Amino acid sequence: MEMYGHTEYHRSVAVVLPDSPRVVPDVIDILVPDLNHSACTHANTNCSSNVWTAENKGKTMNRNIALIACTTLSMISGAAIGAQTNNYPESIASHDELAMQEIARGMINSLHPDQQQAIAEKGGLGSDVVDISGFTRNYEGRDVSHIPQDITATQYLSMLMSDAMVSELSDQQIFVLNNIATLLDEGKEIPAMCFAPGTNGKYAFMMNEMLDYQFVGENGSRFQQGSRWSRTAIDGPGLTQGEATNITYSFAPDGSFIPNSGLGAGNSTLFAWLDAKYGSTAAWQSLFHQVFDRWEVLTGITYTWEQNDDGRNMSSSLGVVGARGDVRIFAFNYPFDGNNGVLAYNFFPNDGDMAIDAFDSFYNSTGGNSIRLRNVVAHEHGHGLGMAHVCPANSTKLMEPFVSTSYDGPQLDDILNGQRHYGDPQEPNQTLPNATDMGTFADNGFANIFEASIDDNTDTDFYKITLTDRAKITFAVAPNAGQYQQGPQTSSCNSGSNTNYNAIHNLKLQMFLSTDLINPVATADATGAGSGESITYDSEISSGVYYVIVSPVTSTNNIQRYLGSLFITALPPVVCPPDLNGDGELNFFDVSAFLAAFSAMDPEGDFNNDGLYNFFDVSAFLAAFSAGCP
């Protein structure tokens, strides 16, 4: 048995955990020598050579199969023998070498992402198919400057555990904190967690501090924001801030293994738990679909339900179309957490997997269309999109540490957070070909733009307007956020900074006719940050396509949400006095009609309206005829 943490954490009780997974030589050590990582322990299998000795003979077939699997991966995925790059050029490699390389390429994705990254960084065999940018674990939005450098997680926890803090925590809570510290010291990634109402705020704060420990050295920013998805199963690698993103999600089959992330390990019972509660799989899965649909309506993310899930261990593999989602849903009864307390946890991108505390009585109430379950799932997926906890805890923000039923799904701060990372629902509309189509109009109509935003100082939004008649175009935008208090999670979670999110950017409007995309027909930049802008333009042509561009004038690298409105109204009829026959054209028939009226001394012949019929009427008509109609 191994003691976790320091004895002084535990009052007079010595709290111990079961034997911890050993950090042993693994597939990476063979793929790339001189790397010390845990490997098949991610699959709950110990592959060290000193474990599988003669005395192990006769043990379960599963262990033998696991050993064979680990050994096969070790051999096939490539031995990097001293060289930086060990992928063979086809021009000089033997058939055997190329065959081994192809097998390694095919199998490398079965390894844990941390292992893939380590192999790729050392140029291991088959690693040319691995995109290192897809394994970022930086947490760019958190201010962790308060965490000392060069100390272990256990040492950091010891610093936090004052006598006053210990007196407020239960033995079980201290047990979990010690477990997390030990796992962090072993190199294990710890997910973000949400808590039931009434959970000790200092316990939630301590859990968040241990989460922050793994991101020491990163910079802070607004919304308590972390890294976004840089690759997904559909989009592949290379995704960046503000870019529209496709994310797949799947439901892990029961029995899928969930490694210990501080609250214990176990096998998923998602289907057994929720099938019994809701009567059918479709009934509870529809609640998850609603959560993802809501995030899609509010951001530039498109969600696809991946109906296949191969049951791999939680957080062990990237999403693959037809095999498993980018985001995978698990549930089990946390061994180290009682009723309430931690309700669920979720890893950050590029992982996104979620584990719910199955059978917790918090979920017994299904009122409000199961708002408790839906808000927990929406909150946890917020972590899976790169969001951290936010304070104050006043039931106004989804990403507060404690789940609430005072709201339904993402709120303003959460929406700003999501759009900052993934753009707004109109994405991608930063270019002319991808302009948001506002519709086709004759001489009247309107359209509104909801949940729009400029997600940084370089973002521009394009809108397309098609007219089939003369009309007046009015296009207006106005900031749509507000001033509120928010900040990182603290022990009391009752404070934050006031920020006016209506005054982040000064918005500018430009309108162009499609036949001249250099010279705008109208521009509006009359007000400053926090105020709206509008442009009005009379389109005298009978048909045409116009583009309106919304852009920031200010250089702040942050998000400005706005509303937009388009109004199309009829212009007064065109008055063209020399078009006497009213056919819309000036020709011989109009001259003939004038001469006839002049000779008959009809009113139309008195072209200058002076009551006389003379040379001046003829001169005025000819001048108007020559000038043409408007």
387-396, 457-466, 469-478: range with lowest mean pLDDT? 387-396
Distance between start and end Cα atoms, the chain: 93
- If residue 502 lies in a helix (H) or strand (E), which one and from where to where? none
pLDDT at site 39: 34
Confidence of residue 107 (pLDDT cuts 50, 70, 90): low
Other beta carbons within 10 angstroms of residue 149's beta carbon come to: 7
- Fold match, 228-422 / 432-569: no
pLDDT above 70 (res 466) = yes
pLDDT at site 156: 81
- Structure-block tokens of residue 221: 């920013």
At 180, phi and psi to the nearest 5? -65, -45
Spans of all domains in the chain: 27-130, 138-213, 228-422, 432-569, 588-627
pLDDT at site 4: 27
Residues 6+ apart with CB under 8 A from 102: none
5-9, 313-317, 365-369, 554-558: range with lowest mean pLDDT? 5-9
Q: What is the CATH number of domain 432-569?
A: 2.60.120.380
- Give tens-digit pLDDT for 213-224: 766 543 333 356
pLDDT at site 238: 93
Cβ 524 vs Cβ 508: under 8 Å: yes
DSSP calls for 376-397: HHHHHHHHHTTB---B--SS--
Confidence of residue 129 (pLDDT cuts 50, 70, 90): low
* 605-615 mean pLDDT: 91
- Structure-block tokens of residue 526: 């009359």
For the chain, give percent helix, strand, coil, nearest 5.
30, 20, 50
Residues 6+ apart with CB under 8 A from 228: 239, 241, 245, 349, 385, 386, 421, 422
pTM of the model: 0.70
pLDDT at site 92: 46
284-298, 454-468, 581-595: range with lowest mean pLDDT? 581-595
* % the chain with pLDDT above 90: 52
* 177-189 mean pLDDT: 80
Helical axes 201-213 vs 153-160, angle rounded to 10°:
150
Cβ 197 vs Cβ 487: under 8 Å: no
From the list 121, 16, 148, 24, the residue with the least C-alpha distance to 74 is 24
> Which residues are bridge partners to 560 per DSSP?
454
pLDDT at site 147: 67
Confidence of residue 580 (pLDDT cuts 50, 70, 90): confident
> Which residues are bridge partners to 453 per DSSP?
561
pLDDT above 70 (res 3) = no
- Give tens-digit pLDDT for 271-294: 999 999 999 999 999 999 999 999
- Give tens-digit pLDDT for 82-92: 334 455 444 44
Please report where in the chains the tokens 């696809």 appear, as a residue: 304
CATH superfamily of 228-422: Collagenase (Catalytic Domain) (3.40.390.10)
At 246 the three-state DSSP class reads strand
* 312-327 mean pLDDT: 95
pLDDT above 90 (res 132) = no
Distance CA 131, CA 128 (A): 8
* 610-627 mean pLDDT: 91
